[in-house]
Structure 1
Amino acid sequence: MPTAALWAAVEPLLPAAHRLGRPRVCDRQMFFAIFYVLRAGLQWKALPRCLGVASTAHDRFQRWVAAGVFRQLWVLGLLELHIESRLDWSFQSLDGCQTKAPLGGQAVGPNPTDRGKGGVKRHLLTEAQGLPVGLAVTGANVADVIQVQAVFDSMPVLPSPDTDEFPQGFCADKGHDAKAVRHLIQQRGYVDHIQSRDQEATLCKTPGYRARRWVVERTHSWFNRFRRLLIRWEKQVDNYEALLHLACANIVWKQSLLFG
């Protein structure tokens, strides 16, 4: 469940409550209910009554999605770490992960690895510690190479200027191997580390070489611990992205609390 510190961070971001009508269920209880749905992977109607009424929790979730609360929570955590110079910009890793989307909806496409069934892909960029710093959502049939710019555009924070003297690495698999991508990362001042698994495995045998691509793959594994993200049930892409942003926020704020 979310910590008290995570609730303390999100509380100021919540929109003002309407004062008319029935007594309002407290926001804290609804936030914990939403987080429980994300973590346990259950449907809204299956929410335990001890956490609140399912319809109320879902309505509160929709309102907060419209207000951009979950993205702001992620951004706030990154900004705090960035100001304290606790983000490691020595290299960044990018990778995509496909999941099923049986109900269809926005940003869903035929999954080429699942007999053309409906699927979604999250394109995730992390810094060197594995903290998510960029995220884009597309259909499962969208090629990785055409989403690199979109992921860069989604970054809430950018490396500090004082890191320019230390070239930053850009790490990705062969799915991102294209002239346009290499040109893009060169324009941004990155050192190219787009390699296949075999190439990186060979380089890992070199003394002093630091493997990089596994970092983003580990972060995808962290995402999959939120069982609601294993299969996309949301038809509206805004709702799905909000759950991803909440997972991002939890990972970032957990890092802040561990080393704060």
Structure 2
Amino acid sequence: MPAVPSSVIEPIWCQFEALIPAVADKHPLGCHRPRVPDRVVFDKLIQVLVFGVAYRKIEDASCSATTIRRRRDEWIAAGMFTRLEQICLDGYDKMIGLELENVVVDGCIVKAPCGGQAAGPSPVDRGKQGTKRSLMVDGQGIPIGCVTAGANRNDSPLLEATLDKLARFGFDLPEQITVHLDAGYDSHKTRDLLDTLGCDHQISTKGEPLQAGARWVVERTNSWHTRGFRKLQICTEVRTRVIDAFIAFANAIIITRRLIAQAWTRYRWNNRPHKQP
């Protein structure tokens, strides 16, 4: 069984392939070993992301663990995963439409047994190492921005950096944005920040029964992250830039899957799945 259905991964690969920069052959005699095809490494990275396996567990005659890590780092340095995520967002916005009038932000803590730059003592796991993801989604739960930090960081101080991710949409933002938050953000500091940014807000009140409101979509997206991508459920990467790259990669898959599901009832195209995803 493939890690991701071909109806989802093939359009992602087409966009990703177009972003891969040309590699110059610098060997003076031109007699080194042939370069491992990019598609092979791409498929290996999907397996790492979905199954959460170590690189050495999936190496074979076609591609070594060292090649996977080296090519991954090359693509991260070129900013390809972030650009892929942005292309998927632009495509979704063009065909379906992002609901940026309402955005929802919430934090999610996952295990980080290897520690690293984005790890800290987890308040929900007996002080073991963990990573927090401050995730922002639109009104339908499409991931539009994420900030990683140690698990011991509070949600509220990460809010400004998370909302700064809206800058990726440039001048296409709506005139008025309402930010939906849970009781962990219920403070004067948070309200002052949102007032400074010119955003309306709906914040759950501390000490009162759970007020779900419109925040359930971010909980669903957090579930897509942790249940659909083992690499995000247990963070074994040490460097923040690698963690962010895998999050962007997962977001690209989620956005594409939602785009196909929403477009299935609206459009017709070649290679359209026979049934709704």
Task: Indicate the residue corresponding to 1:191 in structure 2.
Answer: 200
Query: 2:50, 2:252 → 1: CA distance?
Result: 13
Contact 1:89/1:159 (<8 A) preserved: no
Task: Indicate the residue corresponding to 2:217 in structure 1.
Answer: 215
Task: Indicate the residue corresponding to 1:160 in structure 2.
Answer: 172
TM-score in terms of structure 2 length: 0.83
In the TM superposition, residue 247 of structure 1 has moved relative to its aligned partner by: 0.6
Residues 34 and 51 (structure 1), Cα distance of their counterparts in 2 relative to 1, 3 Å cut: farther
Q: Where does 1:245-256 land on structure 2 (aligned, <5 Å)?
A: 245-256=248-259
Q: Where does 1:50-199 land on structure 2 (aligned, <5 Å)?
A: 52-84=63-95, 86-155=97-166, 156-157=168-169, 160=172, 163-164=174-175, 167-196=176-205, 198-199=209-210
In the TM superposition, residue 172 of structure 1 has moved relative to its aligned partner by: 1.0
Query: 1:256, 1:50 → 2: CA distance?
Result: 35
Query: 2:136, 2:91 → 1: CA distance?
Result: 18
Query: 1:33, 1:18 → 2: CA distance?
Result: 23
In the TM superposition, residue 125 of structure 1 has moved relative to its aligned partner by: 0.3
Query: 2:54, 2:172 → 1: CA distance?
Result: 41
Contact 2:108/2:134 (<8 A) preserved: yes
TM-score in terms of structure 1 length: 0.88
Moved more, 187-196 or 25-34: 187-196
The letter of the residue matching 2:172 is: S
Is 2:4 aligned against 1:4? Answer: no
In the TM superposition, residue 158 of structure 1 has moved relative to its aligned partner by: 5.5
Please report the RMSD computed on the Cα atoms of aligned residues, expressed in angstroms.
2.0
Number of aligned residue pairs: give it.
Answer: 248
Contact 2:51/2:229 (<8 A) preserved: yes
Name segments (4+ residues, structure 1) moved above 6 Å: none
Contact 1:30/1:51 (<8 A) preserved: no
The letter of the residue matching 1:222 is: W
Residues 105 and 6 (structure 1), Cα distance of their counterparts in 2 relative to 1, 3 Å cut: same
Contact 1:91/1:168 (<8 A) preserved: yes
Contact 1:93/1:216 (<8 A) preserved: yes
Contact 2:117/2:239 (<8 A) preserved: yes
Unaligned stretches of 5+ residues in structure 2: 264-277
Contact 1:33/1:51 (<8 A) preserved: no
Q: Deviations over 1:131-171 (max 9, x none)?
A: 1111100000111111111001223225735x42xx43211
Task: Indicate the residue corresponding to 1:17 in structure 2.
Answer: 23
The alignment-based identity, stated in percent, is 33
